Structures are given as structure tokens and as C-alpha cells.
Chain A
Amino acid sequence: MLFGESGPLGGAAWTAPTVRSGWLQGLRSLAQHPGALRFLADCGAVDTIFSLQGDSSLFVASAAGQLLVHILALAMRGPAEGHPSPQGCDWPACAQKIVCHVEDSLRSTATLQVTQALNVLTTTFGHCHSPWTQGLWVRLSPLVACLLEKDPIPASHSLVDLLLSVARSPVGSSDCGLWETLAQTLSHLSPTQAGPLALGILKLQDCPQALKTQAFGVLLQPLACVLKAAAQAPGPPGFPEGATGDSITVDTFLSSKSACVGLLCQALAHLELLQLLPQRPSPWPQAPLLRAAVAILRFCHGSAAPTSDVGGHLCAVLAGCVRVQRAALDFLGTLSQGTGPQELVTQVFAVLLEYLTSPDSSPMVLKKAFQATLRWLLGSPKAPSCCDLDPHTQLFLGELLPVLRKRLCSPCWEARDSGLEFLTQVTRHWGGQAAFRHALLASEVPELTGQLLRDPESYVRASAVTATGQLSSWGLYATPTGPEHPEVQQESLFTELLHILSTDSEGFPRRAVMHVFTQWLKDGHADVAEDLEQFVARVLQAASQDLDWEVRAQGLELALVFLEQLLGQPGSRCPYAVALPEAAPPATLAQVLQALCRVQLFEFALRALFDCDRPVAQKSCDLLLFLKAKATPCGGPQEAGASPDVVSVEAALQRWQAGEQGQPLGELEPEAVMAVLRSMDLEGLRGMLAKSSDHMEKSPQSLLQDMLATVGVLGENEADCY
């Protein structure tokens, strides 16, 4: 019924991709035991799977390929666990059939078939690490090698994937021929195709140094080309041998704009990934890479003045190219992890400033330029004599702040937003540096930031909230009195942010306010410390009425911080941790509970416990459990339900659970709260909440109910189902 022409293949339902996909999934569940192989082979299912490899639906095609690998592995698992011969005379019939099919496909002239075969093999070597894969590679590698001799190389992407998959598998480490094949492939493929292979090779743990050098050369070639094209005169030594821009790379550059842009972006992305790896090539050519990144950015900006023909061409192709600008700025940012000669670092800052200043920088490019600048600024060395910023950085800051000021006035909201994000980050790291504080306060930036709290764009308001919060934490924020609102009385930033929290129509600024408040509470901000309880009470009151679940969840986060400050950290403290000097000993529990009642934390938390958004309820559950754990050992052995208060609280909770959230809880006594907490099954609730929202549908009980419902139509034979 399930196989053959008379089965599903002939049915109308087979035309639906979901049916074919389901058929493959079913087969996969079926093929769990070697005994199933015989059945599959007999009914012709394997042939159907072969044909489904070329299915019009990509999901079906991919599932068919994976199923073949699964069947092959299953077939080889049984009798041939040892080292089967490459010829395959002792291989099980089913495996033999699949391998022969792969061989045929590899010999095919149709690229699609070759791709399918290569994909099957890639999955095989990626998932199966048994000794038989060794035999499989010995048998198939000559066919793979033949592919390399074709021009153009068919299915080069899949071929690269396969070679890397083999190299990563145990087969790779024992097969010397593989390194030669890889080297050969590297030199045969076009620069664009060779990039992913080169990166893959450089990621391998143990491969010959010569191959690594060759692969690194492939990645460096486009940048070497750029350096050569940008050179006014023979400059300082460039990249190591093997990476001098060869003629094929130059040809790719000159062939078309898209080829040139594609190759450069790929090379930059690959080198960026490589830079972060522990096994990156050593020595790392930091200086030439920096020079190349700067040169690319200058080409894109139109500020390079090359003398060579290739340079002129690059200039025309790259001018204003946003894709390359983004890739190069990302790359330049990553390079900030290393150092470079001062003269080069100066060039880096100059080109970054050029991008930050230029009115032509697109919003995305500007954002990347800010990010790269931040990384370079934070990576710059401190002056040796004192802990303040070094003179170069101070000089740069002097030029940067007017640019930032202008960006904060930009009519383009993305520019204002990236400017604020940058300001937040720099302040977070340098808020304590005298030179930075001095420069920032002398600029108009803090006032402008305050003004952006009223920006029409909600993202900008959110970023402005974060930025002012950060500035205020470092004492760098003074409430502005704009010339247009002289009548408005100066109010504290806290009041202003609280106003945003209770009135802003968009979620992002309100969330940002909650984050700032939580941070302030953690840091003991002056505005907060003035009247801690008042602060927490007002924030929780505003957050509890918010429609955005993230704001409510953040409110619980803030409540937890408050609790921790009153009761100490949750969980077991590391006994070897250096104890922080505490300002005051933890207050007695009764006092704490009184305080919690005063700020109405219980009402907020209990209400959140029945929140329709699961993360909020989970957080609240955790918070109450923490409180319960802290309070229980200290509390007296009181019986739940002893006081009449408890009854009314429980009644209110029940109504909340039923969805009537309007009802207030009223004044709470600490004892009543503790009694309620003790009586509630919070652990059980936590368990319930931890389950995913579809756990009901996926449970066996649900399946059983489905079956019963189906059977129920036929007759009352419930007992049979058990």
C-alpha cells in the first residue's frame, strides 16, 4: 500500500510536496533496524528515493539525500563493521546499490546529478565516522578527481563542501592523497569559488603547512591586488609570498562590477572570520591587511588617487559601493584586535573620520563606521604615564565629537540612532576617563541627547533613553533647558524617564527606560538612592500597567534586583569568592517584607504570576520562589489560612487566574503574603510554565485522545486502545 506504482506514486496526493516529504519521514522512522533494509530493497523504495533526489521541492530533495545516507549507514552497520574492501564485493546489496548509484551520478554529464551525488557524499562523511567510510573514499576518490579535470568544474560549490567534509572526517587524517587533491582544487577553481575552500582548509586542525600557506594566499590575493593597484610608489613590504595579486584575480576584478564587488566582499568576510580563530595563520599580516582595508575604503569613498590602470578601474567600480563599504568597515573593526604601526593607525582613524563626516555615507555604512570607530577607540592603548587616554585618542575625540553632534541633528533617524548607540558604548567604557569627560561636557552632545528623548522616531527615543541613562550614571547628564522651552521647570531625568514609561505609545522606549532603571538600581544611582522605596514603587506601578510583556518582565527583573539588595544574592555563593564589602548588613526579614509590601512588589509579582505571557509568569514564579526560599527558614511555623486576610488574597488570586485582572489586592500584611506563598504550589507552577506551548499537542495523551476520537466514530471500543 505504501510503495510502488499502485501505491502512493500513482495517487493524486503524491503531487503535493508535503505528502512526499511525509513519505520520506515515515521511511526514515521505519529504517531503524537492519531488518528493514531487505523490505525496502524488495519493494523498490530505494529507487523511489533516488528519483526524489531531483524533486522540485528542495525540502523533499534534501530529505531524500539524507535518507539515502541514513540507509547506507544502516546497511554498513551490520555485517561489515570492520574494514570492507574498496571494491565492495563484500558490501551488503543495499549499500552496493546506493554506492553504484552515486558512482553513476558522478560520471554523469548533468551537473544536477553530480551535485546530488556530491551532496550525499558530503552528508555521509559529515555524519558517519565508521571505518567503512575509508573504503568508500578509496573507491570514489578517483571519480571525484576526474571532476577536477573538467572545464568548467561542475558543481564546484558541492565539490568544495565534499572535500572539506572528507578532510574533517577521520578519513582525511589518514589519506595523504587528499591534501594533494585539495591543493589541486585550490589552483583549479576560480578565485571566487576557491575562497570558501581556502577558508575551510585554514580551519582544519591538522593539515600540511604548505597547503595552509597556499590557502591563505588565495584569501589574500584580492587584497594584494587592491594594495598593488592603490600603490603610488613601491611601498612597504606587503603580503607573504604566494599572495601577490595574480593575473586571474586581476582579470576577475576587471571582468565586471559584480564580480569585483563579490570577490572583494567574500575575501573580506573570510579574512574577518579567520582573524577570530585561534588557528589563524601565523604570522598574521596585520599591517598589509590594515593598509588594504584602508585602501578599499578610500576607493569606495572616491578619495584614492591611483596611478595604475587597475587602480583607476577599481576606483570607478567601487565608488559609492555600499556593499564593499560595509564589508570593509566590519573587517577594519575586527582588525582593531591587533596592533599596527602608529602611522597606519593614524590612517585608520583618518579614514573612519572621513566616513563619519561624509554626507554621502548611507545610514548602514555610517552605523558600521561608528561600530568600527568604537572598536578602534577601545582598543587604543592607554598612555603609559597615567590611566587616562593617550594623546592621539584625545586628539581624535576632539575631531569626533563635532561630527557626532552633527549626526545627532541629522534628519535621517538611522544616523541619529547610530550616533546615540555609539555615545552609549563609549560612555560605558570611558565615563570615568577625565579627558573624555572633559571633551564630552565641552561639546553640546549631552544636551542634544536629552533633546532626542522627544524624537518622533521611537527607535531614536529608545536609544536616547539608553544614552541619557548611561550619561547620567557617570554624572555627565544635565537636564537641558532648551531655548524653546525656558518656561519648563527643570525636572530630574528620573521624572522624565518615568514620564516616557507611562505615556510613550511605542514599546521600545518604554523597554529602554526599564533597562536604565534596572541598571541604575544595580549601580546605586544618586537619583535612586535618594529614596529607594519611592523609586521602586513608582517604577513597578508604571510597569505593572504596561501592555508590553517585555516591560513587565523587565519590571520583575528590577524587582529581583531590589530583593537581592535587601536579602542577598540568590543561589549558593561561591565559598572562595572575594566578599564585596557590604554597605549595611541585610535588614531583618520582617523589615524587608514590610518594605516589599510598601512598594507593592507582592501585588506586582502575584499579578504577573497569572500573566498571559509565559516568560512574565516564569520570571515571577522564579522571583517568588527565591523569596519563599529566603523567608521560610526565618518565618514562624504559621498555618496557611489562619488569618482572614489570606482568604481574601486567595480569592483575588483565583479571580486573576480566571482572567479578571482588574481587581486590586488592597493593602497586604507581610504575614498574609508569606502564608499565601507557602500555600501555593510554586514548584508545580514552575514545572508547568517550563513546558513549551505545544507540549499538549505533542504528548502521548494527545495522540491517544486523537485515536479515541477517530475510533469513537466507529464504535464504543475504548478498552481496546489500552
Chain B
Amino acid sequence: MKLYCLSGHPTLPCNVLKFKSTTIMLDCGLDMTSTLNFLPLPLVQNPRLSNLPGWSLKDGNAFLDKELKECSGHVFVDSVPEFCLPETELIDLSTVDVILISNYHCMMALPYITEHTGFTGTVYATEPTVQIGRLLMEELVNFIERVPKAQSASLWKNKDTQRLLPSPLKDAVEVSTWRRCYTMQEVNSALSKIQLVGYSQKIELFGAVQVTPLSSGYALGSSNWIIQSHYEKVSYVSGSSLLTTHPQPMDQASLKNSDVLILTGLTQIPTANPDGMVGEFCSNLALTVRNGGNVLVPCYPSGVIYDLLECLYQYIDSAGLSSIPFYFISPVANSSLEFSQIFAEWLCHNKQTKVYLPEPPFPHAELIQTNKLKHYPSIHGDFSNDFRQPCVVFTGHPSLRFGDVVHFMELWGKSSLNTVIFTEPDFSYLEALAPYQPLAMKCIYCPIDTRLNFIQVSKLLKEVQPLHVVCPEQYTQPPPAQSHRVDLMIDCQPPAMSYRRAEVLALPFRRRYEKIEIMPELADSLVPMEIKPGISLATVSAVLHTKDNKHVLQPPPRPAQPTGGKKRKRPSDDIPDCKVLKPLLSGSIPVEQFVQTLEKHGFSDIKVEDTAKGHIVLLQEAETLIQIEEDSTHIICDNDEVLRVRLRDLVLKFLQKF
């Protein structure tokens, strides 16, 4: 069993598991942090960004000045943003049989895999994952396509050139594999390969393996996966949460008794407690608005935003903010808010029960009804008519490189009354802000990551007790900035096996058993013999037939009828001929008793020697050796067949025959 690790990002995993005869891709995450190296794509003409000076080497060579621009002391690539794909060279991706998706954040690389690698298999995911994943992809494509940029930069990617660039461009990895965003056609084609599944549904793969999604508690429709055969079980835990937020709670019990547990997608901010961060978010929001400032919240169109809106729903009245407008701007804002209300079966119990009242499960419906929350596909159109300040704006993209957020950063960045509050943990907020510096607006970092932290992981592992844990290497050591925090790493016994990008891991467990079916007629013919209470044995002679990973024992073909046989066999002798088989022996020979028996039968002068594997009984007078080992017994005597048979019979007395 092997694990091919195609992504180095612990929360955006992409691994391929070879298990029995199947090749299973686990998640398809797209690392978008690469976009931080690019200049933002402004929605409206922006003189500041379009007149940036080109960057030139120290020796004055300016051949890169079209591609690289200097902005606020940093160097950015002036081109369409590009993403860092999962490794495509490590394994032939056309051989992947299935792709299992655990949540909508972990499927963003799907079009690259299904459309460009010869992939012919099936993708499995839950319905909310597909629907919301589609929204995320649609938003991404929309953000990038609506601001067409003719220029595509490639010179800087040359290895020799890259070395000369300043950080962080110099240290960017695998730049040659970075790709532009996919198109909507590719998205549609990729999504058409998805087959929908429900929690606890068992899906047979080629008769060899069964895969089952389980609720992981992190997002709408998010799942962990069980991959099992009859005797082996691999659990894939990715992006799980034990907190009470909107999704169905995590199913932990089904993860028990795993041989291997692959653990990815833990919280990216292990020191920040989501509750505290929500508090921080609300307080800062209220303080800014009270002073007449605007609040900008760069966010994804689905996920934590639902919880934030719910918190604000309860909070705005107590904080006296009921007259402040909340705007949610995204090409998919409407669909996201509507979708969240219709996936009742994927929600936590509280929200499920609301549906029967009937009430919308999320209170943002009421915020919309009362006009406190308004949503728009973009800043153009209706929004510009309704726009009123001070206000709170939720919009993408959290990287601050494309989407409507770029406009608000330019609009509000110059006033210290305004605040930008970062809630998504995927991007370093300082790097995200780099091209906007110097910035007068206040920046608050309240990353809300509800995924498992290390304390919860340690409890989970104690609970489910996997034999082996496999995880990204980042989880096996404390965070580099807090090297003394040994509590911020996975602590388990045996120690977790770690992987990094482009590594192939041989998973530490051997397959020992395989399930075989016995045909009824063959089973009928067996004659079990009880060798100890509760355990019976029978000898079987049969033909092993293997097809589609199913193994069946069939009765052996009948021997050709002896020509002109005079003696016809009785019907009961229809089974394979047992006479030719020697009886099978079992048991062990207790040396002391054996020696006593020998003495009883007239042998004297017996000597016993211990050897590495057993004992040697020496009959000195008869010049005979009896060599007793765990799995064999030899009687060595000098051409005295009578003596040998006598001794053999004595040995056999201690063994069971059948």
C-alpha cells in the first residue's frame, strides 16, 4: 500500500492511495497562495497600479521590467494570477480510478486533473460539496475573467532568472508548473464527472474496496472517508471540526479500528480559539462603525460567513448597529445564501428542526427580509445606487488580488476610520496587504478556523485508536515561529509518519488475510473435526477462482473416469480421494514427558540437548537422534527401520491427527 503525496499544503491536500488493486485520489486541493506574488486586478481603471515602475536587476538590467513591478517596496508579477497545481509528474494521473472529495475547499484543482491528465475515472462527493464547490469555482473564474489582462509573464520563471529575484519570488516553489485559472467549460466538464453520495453510503470499487463518506462537521456536506476491504481499514480525515457550528456534527465512532489514519486539514491557526476570534471580530466591527468608519471583510462566499452572519444577527441589536447596512458582494452571493437554506439534511440538529416549524435554518434570511443584509453580484449596477456609509461589506477574494475586494481596498484604504478584518485563515494577511501599503485603514486579524486543533486531535486519536497515523510533516513539529510549543504538534504512539510534497510513502502495514468464498457444494463436502473446543479444522481440496477481486473456492474438476473400471466407487467417495493424503499432524511434543515415555518403553541412557530451535534427544545406546523443532521432527537412526517406526509411533502419540 503506497501513498503518493502531490501537495505540500497541509490544508489543501492532494494524495493518491494505492490500495489493493485500486488507485484512489484523496482530495484535489489548489494552493492559491501563489497569487500573492501577483499584482491585484483592479475592477476599475487604477492609476496607482497601472503606473508602477518596472523592476530591474541590481546591475541595471531591465529585461524583466514588463513582467515585474515594484510596489510599496515589494516586487510583484504583473500578469494574470497563477495557481500552484498538485504534483503531476509523480504518478500517471490517468491511472487514477476514483477521486474522493472531502469538502468544497479541497476540490478547487479538480478541472486541472480531470481535464488535462487523461483521467477517465469517477469523482465522488456529497451534493452540498459539489454545489458550493461549483459556486467557489464560478466566483474564481468570474473574478479573473471579468478583468481580462493581455499580459502573461513567463521570463521570470526561468530558473537562472528566478535566483536573482528578491524574496519571496526567489523562494517560490515549482513556478514552472504554475497555471492560469481554468475556464467555465472546464469547470462544467469536471463537475459532470462527479457522482453524488450521501453520508454512510457504501460504494464498491471494483469489488476490491469499499469507500464510505462520513460527516466531518467542518462545512456543509464535508466528509471524511473510510476506505476498507474485508480485513483492512484506512481512514482519511480531512478538514474536520468538533465545534458546534452549522454543519452536521463529526462522526467519530466510525473511524475506530483503522489500520491507518491519514490526517490532514487541521486548523491553520492552532493558537487562536474561534470563539475568541468571533468576539474580536464583533467588537472591532462595532467600534469602527460607531466612529463612522466602514468595515471590509474579505471572505469566501460560503462557509464561515454563515456563522458570522448568525453572530451578527444576535449582536447588532445589542450593539446598537441595527441601522447599519451589511452588504454581501459576490457573483454567487444570491446562490450561496439560498443554497445554505435548502440543504437541511446536512445541517446540525438545531437547524434541521427549524425546517419543520417551518422556518429558514439560518437567520440571515431574516436579515435579508428586514433589509439589514443586502447582496449584489458586483459593485456595478444596483449596488452603486443603494450604497450607504458607514457600512459593512463582505466580499472576495480573501487573497486581495482579484474580486470586488480590490476596489474597496483602494476606496477605503486611505482613511484610518475604516477597518479591514481578516477572517479567512488561508492567506497571510501581511502578504495580502503588501501591494496596498502604505495603508491608513486599520487591519484586524481574526482568523476563524474551526478545524481540529492539536488538543482535539489528541483526544480523537485516543478515542479511535488507529494503528498508524500518517500526516503532513508540518504537523509533526511545533510551528517554526513557536518552537517551544511542543503542544502544537501531533503526539501519538507509535509516532506519526509524515509526508511532504512529491514524496511516496510505503504505508506500514501488511495485508495478511483475504476473504474467500466457498461454493455451497464444496462446503457440503467438508468434514470438520474439532481439535479444541470452539475450533474445528477440515482439509479442503479445491480450485481457487479469482475474478473482479472476488476469490471463490470451487470443487475440483472430477478426475477422468478410469476407463473400464471394474470397481465403482461408492457415492460417498465422490469427494476428492482422501486415501492418498497423509493425515495432518498438529500439537507440540513436551520433551520431559517424551523422555519418560521412552524410558517406559525400555530406552535407557537418554540425553537431552537444547538447541536454538528446539531439542535433540539422544539415545546413546541405540545410536539414534531425535531432533524436535517447532515445525519438524526428525528421527535419525542407522538403518534400523523397526526402531524408527517404533520411535515414530511414540512421537505420534503426542500429536493430534486429522
Question: Which residue of the partner chain A has the closest CB to B446?
Answer: A359
Residues of B within 8 A of A415 (CB): 279
A451 at the interface (CB under 8 A from B): yes
B311 at the interface (CB under 8 A from A): yes
Among candidates A312, A316, A409, A483, residue contacting B286 with C-beta atoms closer than 8 Å: A409
| Contact residues, B271-295 vs A (CB, 8 A) | 271-273, 275-280, 282-284, 286-287, 290-292
| Contact residues, A354-368 vs B (CB, 8 A) | 358-361
Question: Which residue of the partner chain A has the closest CB to B453?
Answer: A320
Q: Chain B's nearest CB lies how many Å from the CB of A423?
A: 16
For A299-320 the 0/1 string (1 means CB < 8 A from B) is 0001011100001110111011
Q: Chain A's nearest CB lies how many Å from the CB of B277?
A: 6
Contact call A409/B484, Cβ cutoff below 8 A: no
Contact call B282/A409, Cβ cutoff below 8 A: yes
Contact call B487/A315, Cβ cutoff below 8 A: yes
Contact call A456/B487, Cβ cutoff below 8 A: no
A484 and B484 in contact, given A409-B287, A411-B315, A456-B318 (Cβ under 8 angstroms) = no
Contact call B283/A411, Cβ cutoff below 8 A: yes
Among candidates B273, B282, B319, B486, residue contacting A316 with C-beta atoms closer than 8 Å: B486
B539 at the interface (CB under 8 A from A): no
B116 at the interface (CB under 8 A from A): no
For A336-365 the 0/1 string (1 means CB < 8 A from B) is 000000000000000000000011110000
Contact call A455/B318, Cβ cutoff below 8 A: yes
Among candidates A317, A320, A360, A406, residue contacting B287 with C-beta atoms closer than 8 Å: A406
A316 and B487 in contact, given A360-B273, A361-B276, A456-B317 (Cβ under 8 angstroms) = yes
In Å, the complex CA distance between A335 and B185 comes to 69
Residues of B within 8 A of A305 (CB): 484
Contact call A360/B276, Cβ cutoff below 8 A: yes
B322 at the interface (CB under 8 A from A): yes
Question: Which residue of the partner chain B has the closest CB to A407?
Answer: B283
Residues of B within 8 A of A407 (CB): 283
Residues of B within 8 A of A20 (CB): none
In Å, the complex CA distance between A423 and B210 comes to 62
| Contact residues, A395-441 vs B (CB, 8 A) | 405-407, 409-412, 415
| Contact residues, A441-479 vs B (CB, 8 A) | 444, 451, 454-457
A482 at the interface (CB under 8 A from B): yes
Q: Chain A's nearest CB lies how many Å from the CB of B288?
A: 10
In Å, the complex CA distance between A311 and B483 comes to 12
Among candidates A313, A316, A411, A455, residue contacting B314 with C-beta atoms closer than 8 Å: A411
B151 at the interface (CB under 8 A from A): no
B482 at the interface (CB under 8 A from A): yes
Contact call A412/B322, Cβ cutoff below 8 A: no
Residues of A within 8 A of B315 (CB): 411
Residues of A within 8 A of B292 (CB): 483
B604 at the interface (CB under 8 A from A): no
In Å, the complex CA distance between A411 and B313 comes to 11
In Å, the complex CA distance between A380 and B568 comes to 114
Q: Chain B's nearest CB lies how many Å from the CB of A10?
A: 49
In Å, the complex CA distance between A317 and B320 comes to 41
B415 at the interface (CB under 8 A from A): no
Contact call B320/A482, Cβ cutoff below 8 A: yes
Question: Which residue of the partner chain B has the closest CB to A460?
Answer: B318
Contact call B276/A302, Cβ cutoff below 8 A: no
In Å, the complex CA distance between A312 and B287 comes to 38
| Contact residues, A675-701 vs B (CB, 8 A) | none
B354 at the interface (CB under 8 A from A): no
Contact call A306/B279, Cβ cutoff below 8 A: no
Question: Which residue of the partner chain A has the closest CB to B287?
Answer: A409
Count of chain A residues near B, Cβ 8 A? 33
B146 at the interface (CB under 8 A from A): no
B94 at the interface (CB under 8 A from A): no
B323 at the interface (CB under 8 A from A): yes
* Highest count of chain B CB atoms <10 Å: which of A317, A319, A455: A319
Residues of A within 8 A of B278 (CB): 411
Residues of A within 8 A of B277 (CB): 359
Among candidates B280, B287, B317, B484, residue contacting A405 with C-beta atoms closer than 8 Å: B287
Contact call A444/B283, Cβ cutoff below 8 A: no
Residues of A within 8 A of B551 (CB): none
Contact call A302/B314, Cβ cutoff below 8 A: no
B485 at the interface (CB under 8 A from A): yes
In Å, the complex CA distance between A484 and B320 comes to 7
In Å, the complex CA distance between A302 and B273 comes to 13
In Å, the complex CA distance between A302 and B284 comes to 24
Contact call B485/A409, Cβ cutoff below 8 A: no
A409 and B487 in contact, given A359-B273, A483-B292 (Cβ under 8 angstroms) = no
In Å, the complex CA distance between A483 and B290 comes to 8
Question: Which residue of the partner chain A has the closest CB to B284?
Answer: A406
Q: Chain B's nearest CB lies how many Å from the CB of A129?
A: 53
Question: Which residue of the partner chain B has the closest CB to A309?
Answer: B486
| Contact residues, B291-349 vs A (CB, 8 A) | 291-292, 311, 314-315, 317-323
Residues of B within 8 A of A406 (CB): 283-284, 287
Q: Chain B's nearest CB lies how many Å from the CB of A480?
A: 9
In Å, the complex CA distance between A306 and B484 comes to 7
In Å, the complex CA distance between A419 and B276 comes to 16
For A29-44 the 0/1 string (1 means CB < 8 A from B) is 0000000000000000
Contact call B272/A411, Cβ cutoff below 8 A: no
* Highest count of chain A CB atoms <10 Å: which of B278, B284, B487: B487
Question: Which residue of the partner chain A has the closest CB to B324?
Answer: A484
* Highest count of chain A CB atoms <10 Å: which of B277, B284, B484, B485: B484
In Å, the complex CA distance between A444 and B485 comes to 38
Q: Chain B's nearest CB lies how many Å from the CB of A716?
A: 67
Q: Chain A's nearest CB lies how many Å from the CB of B454?
A: 10
Q: Chain B's nearest CB lies how many Å from the CB of A258?
A: 14
Contact call A359/B487, Cβ cutoff below 8 A: no
Among candidates B271, B290, B455, B486, residue contacting A315 with C-beta atoms closer than 8 Å: B486
In Å, the complex CA distance between A319 and B311 comes to 27
A411 and B276 in contact, given A359-B446, A456-B318 (Cβ under 8 angstroms) = no
Question: Which residue of the partner chain B has the closest CB to A408?
Answer: B283
Contact call B322/A484, Cβ cutoff below 8 A: yes
Q: Chain A's nearest CB lies how many Å from the CB of B300?
A: 22
| Contact residues, A283-332 vs B (CB, 8 A) | 302, 304-306, 311-313, 315-317, 319-320
A312 and B484 in contact, given A359-B277, A484-B320, A484-B322 (Cβ under 8 angstroms) = yes
Contact call B484/A311, Cβ cutoff below 8 A: yes
In Å, the complex CA distance between A315 and B489 comes to 13
Q: Chain A's nearest CB lies how many Å from the CB of B312?
A: 9
Contact call B446/A319, Cβ cutoff below 8 A: no
Question: Which residue of the partner chain B has the closest CB to A307?
Answer: B484
Contact call A315/B279, Cβ cutoff below 8 A: no
Q: Chain A's nearest CB lies how many Å from the CB of B453?
A: 10
In Å, the complex CA distance between A410 and B284 comes to 9
Contact call B283/A410, Cβ cutoff below 8 A: yes
For B116-134 the 0/1 string (1 means CB < 8 A from A) is 0000000000000000000
Residues of B within 8 A of A315 (CB): 484-487
Residues of B within 8 A of A412 (CB): 275, 279
Contact call A316/B276, Cβ cutoff below 8 A: no
Residues of A within 8 A of B283 (CB): 406-407, 409-411
Contact call A411/B271, Cβ cutoff below 8 A: no
List 10 A-B residue pairs with CB atoms under 8 Å apart, sorted by A's residue number: A312-B486, A313-B486, A315-B487, A409-B286, A410-B279, A411-B315, A451-B320, A456-B318, A483-B292, A484-B322
Query: Which B residues contact A (CB, under 8 angstroms)?
Result: 271-273, 275-280, 282-284, 286-287, 290-292, 311, 314-315, 317-323, 446, 455, 482, 484-487
The 7 tightest CB contacts between A and B, nearest first, are A359-B276, A316-B487, A409-B283, A359-B280, A409-B286, A411-B282, A360-B276
Task: Please give 4 more A-B residue pairs, beta carbons under 8 A apart, in addition to A306-B484, A359-B279, A444-B290.
Answer: A304-B484, A359-B280, A359-B446, A484-B321
